[in-house]
């Protein structure tokens, strides 16, 4: 889908999208309260970002009531895939192997035994194909 290729959310926009992907529908106040748990951001900053995101087509806004309700208008998995492909191309020379080696070899983010089992199952399935 050509539209997905134009998705270029900023880090702050991705944080808002994460909240909307989790909640489904939310007001600016609800998004702001969720973001405030992990970062210091003003309500008006959140409002302005969400207005910009609406203009960009990243979120939909229902303004039929006094309080506007927002929802993500971009698919989480497609956005993740698009950003991951950009990262693989730009940071790892197009090599998914280098990405995996870097991710799994990183001491900062420990891979749990459950995650290793899922990765192994994926590798086993890929070998069968």
> Is 68 found in the same domain as 10?
yes
Q: What percent of the chain has pLDDT over 70?
A: 95
- CATH number of 18's domain: 1.10.10.10
In a domain, 17, yes or no: yes
Q: Facing residues of 60 across strands?
A: 71
Confidence (pLDDT) at 65: 86
Confidence (pLDDT) at 44: 96
**Structural domain that includes position 6:** 2-72
Distance CA 129, CA 120 (A): 15
The total number of structural domains in the chain stands at: 2
In a domain, 116, yes or no: yes
In a domain, 89, yes or no: no
> Is 13 found in the same domain as 67?
yes
Q: How far is CA 66 from CA 19, 50, 63, 111, in A?
A: 21, 16, 7, 46
Work out the average pLDDT over 27-55: 95
> pLDDT grade, residue 6 (50/70/90)?
low
Q: How far is CA 55 from CA 60, 61, 110, 128, in A?
A: 9, 10, 38, 45
In a domain, 56, yes or no: yes
> Is 62 found in the same domain as 7?
yes
> Is 65 found in the same domain as 115?
no
Residue 54 above 60 pLDDT? yes
Give the DSSP letter string of 92-109.
Answer: STT-HHHHHHHHHT-SSS
- pLDDT, tens digit, 9 for 90 and up, residues 71-124: 999 999 999 998 999 999 999 999 998 988 888 887 777 888 898 899 899 999
The domain boundary residue, chosen from 36, 57, 72: 72
Distance CA 57, CA 63 (A): 15
């Amino acid at each position: 889908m050509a539209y997905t290729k134009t998705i270029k959310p900023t880090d702050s926009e991705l944080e808002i999208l994460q909240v909307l992907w989790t909640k489904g529908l939310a007001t600016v106040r609800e998004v702001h309260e969720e973001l405030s748990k992990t970062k210091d951001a003003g309500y008006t900053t959140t409002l302005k970002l969400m207005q910009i995101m609406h203009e960009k087509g990243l979120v939909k806004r229902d303004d039929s009531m006094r309080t506007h309700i927002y929802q993500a208008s971009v698919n989480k998995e497609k956005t993740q895939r698009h950003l991951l492909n950009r990262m693989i191309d730009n940071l790892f020379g197009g090599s998914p192997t280098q990405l995996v080696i870097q991710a799994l070899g990183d001491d900062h983010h420990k891979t749990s035994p459950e995650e290793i089992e899922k990765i192994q199952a994926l590798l086993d399935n890929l070998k069968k194909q």
